[in-house]
């Protein structure tokens, strides 16, 4: 009986750990220590061309990997989403689920936050940003789509574990009755 109680406690702990929702924290890449003067990577790209932004983002990823050793993936050749915004948007909620990186360009004269680069990672579904320049959003690009993996919902998982526990309990009783 003690073995059964221990098994139930272990399964309950595993279910609680598995059901905890993880929320990723986006990481801003175009900040110190990943940009000049600490590195040779500029805080702002030279222009907003796709090739320039991709190279800038890859350089930021390389510097982040060198400092933190997390092995963030290489930036793919082209953005998966290239969005041009209508004028006047100073706050935006971007649907980022299924992408690894975000680059965003705010309008106005070039300033320290004219362009931004983010590592999204994890389970993040949206990212809300407010214009740091006070000018409207010019556009954004989402990079490196992540393949979606299907996971059974919690109810199915719980039902399957319950059936398995019933089977283990029945097997244990049957084995105990044979011995005694």
User: Has this prediction a pTM greater than 0.95?
Assistant: no
pLDDT of residue 158: 63
Token look-up 């320049």 returns 133
Domain-by-domain residue ranges, the chain?
Answer: 22-145
**Cα within 13 Å of Cα(42), Cβ side:** 14
Residue 106: strand pairing partners: 137
Q: What is the pLDDT along the chain (180 residues), one digit of tens a residue?
A: 555 454 445 444 444 444 444 456 899 999 999 999 999 999 999 899 999 999 999 999 999 999 998 899 999 999 999 999 998 899 999 999 999 999 999 986 665 668 999 999 878 999 999 999 888 999 999 999 987 665 566 666 666 667 777 777 777 777 777 776
155/2 Cα distance (integer angstroms):
27
- The pLDDT score that the predictor gives to residue 141 is 97
Region of residue 163 (left: phi > 0; alpha: psi -120 to 50; beta: else): alpha
């Amino acid at each position: 009986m003690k073995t059964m109680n221990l098994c139930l406690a272990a399964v309950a702990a595993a279910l609680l750990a598995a059901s905890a929702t993880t929320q990723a924290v986006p990481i801003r890449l175009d900040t110190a220590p990943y940009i000049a003067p600490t590195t040779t990577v500029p805080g702002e790209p030279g222009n907003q061309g796709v090739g320039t932004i991709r190279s800038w983002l890859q350089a930021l990823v390389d510097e982040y990997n060198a400092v933190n050793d997390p092995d963030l993936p290489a930036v793919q050749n082209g953005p998966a989403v290239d969005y041009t915004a209508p004028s006047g948007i100073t706050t935006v909620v971007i649907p980022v689920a299924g992408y690894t990186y975000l680059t965003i360009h705010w309008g106005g004269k070039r300033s320290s936050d004219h362009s931004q680069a983010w590592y999204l990672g994890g389970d993040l579904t949206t990212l809300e940003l407010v214009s740091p320049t006070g000018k409207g959003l010019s556009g954004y690009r989402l990079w490196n789509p992540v393949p979606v993996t299907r996971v059974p919902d919690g109810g199915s998982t719980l039902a399957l574990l319950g059936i398995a526990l019933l089977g283990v309990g029945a097997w244990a009783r049957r084995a105990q009755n044979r011995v005694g």
